[in-house]
């Protein structure tokens, strides 16, 4: 039975061969945009001082912060809108740290699981590619100020979109997974902008990121994490 888990603790308890990581605002959306452009995304932990050395070791570009990317267009960052305009050749490796999706992707990969990045943009493509396989889905969520998990409804919608496709392909769903599908079915236009994470980005001047993340079914890429980073695994 296909299951849904939340956050790093939930991800650590999954035994499925393939784990779909969903972080709509913004890691997996940004990764999907990067892979659409032929870039390879290397996940890395958040606020880890080793990131620069890791990027140098892998001959990769280290992503900058959202504010720096806005001031210096063309640089990769966690912003999906900025990633869409990155000036880089296909095949360029980008180290993309984030507190949730990137960190969880690295943790799951370290346990020997295949990691796939999904968001609203490519959920249908991911479900189609993984139909019939041993799969579980992780909704990454956000963090409260004390570091505990804050469930994020946009990740529930993204997970539900993937799970709906897998259910249509014949997968049996756990009660949690069915609840995610029901949440996705109830999603309405404008909801990603109106949810707490969306409002935070809008208030900070990053409405373009929310616009990109809210697009449903516009991408066919299936980012699969391998030695060279997330690449299209179709």
pTM over 0.95: yes
Could you give the CA distance from residue 192 to residue 96 in angstroms, rounded to a whole number? 23
Question: What whole-number distance in Å separates Cα of residue 4 and Cα of residue 66?
Answer: 30
What's the pLDDT band for 113 if we cut at 50, 70, 90? very high
DSSP assignment, residue 139? E
Mean of all residue pLDDT scores within the chain? 96
pLDDT in tens, 9-48: 999 999 999 999 999 999 999 999 999 999 999 999 888 8
Q: How confident is the model at residue 69 (pLDDT cuts 50, 70, 90)?
A: confident
pLDDT digits (tens, 9 = 90+) for 139-187: 999 999 998 999 999 999 999 999 999 999 999 999 999 999 999 999 9
Cα Dmax for the chain = 47
Q: Give the distance from CA 110 to its chain's centroid.
A: 17
Domains and CATH numbers, the chain: 4-228 (3.90.1560.10)
């Amino acid at each position: 039975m296909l299951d849904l888990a939340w956050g790093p603790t939930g991800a650590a308890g999954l035994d499925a061969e393939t784990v779909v990581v969903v972080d709509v605002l913004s890691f997996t959306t940004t990764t999907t945009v990067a892979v659409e452009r032929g870039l390879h995304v290397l996940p890395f932990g958040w606020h880890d001082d080793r990131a620069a050395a890791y990027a140098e070791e892998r001959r990769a570009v280290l992503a900058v912060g959202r504010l720096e990317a806005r001031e210096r267009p063309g640089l990769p960052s966690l912003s999906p809108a900025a990633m869409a305009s990155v000036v880089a050749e296909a095949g360029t490796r980008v180290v993309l740290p984030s507190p949730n999706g990137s960190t969880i992707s690295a943790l799951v990969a370290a346990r020997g699981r295949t990691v796939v990045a999904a968001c609203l943009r490519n959920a249908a493509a991911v479900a189609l590619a993984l139909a019939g396989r041993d799969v579980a889905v992780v909704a990454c969520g956000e963090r409260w100020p004390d570091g505990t998990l804050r469930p994020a409804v946009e990740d529930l919608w993204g997970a539900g979109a993937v799970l709906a496709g897998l259910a249509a392909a014949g997968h049996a769903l756990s009660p949690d997974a069915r609840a995610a599908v029901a949440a996705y079915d109830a999603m309405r236009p404008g909801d990603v902008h109106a949810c707490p994470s969306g409002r935070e980005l809008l208030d900070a001047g990053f409405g373009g990121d929310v616009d990109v993340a809210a697009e449903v079914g516009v991408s066919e890429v299936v980012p699969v994490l391998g030695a060279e980073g997330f690449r299209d695994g179709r």
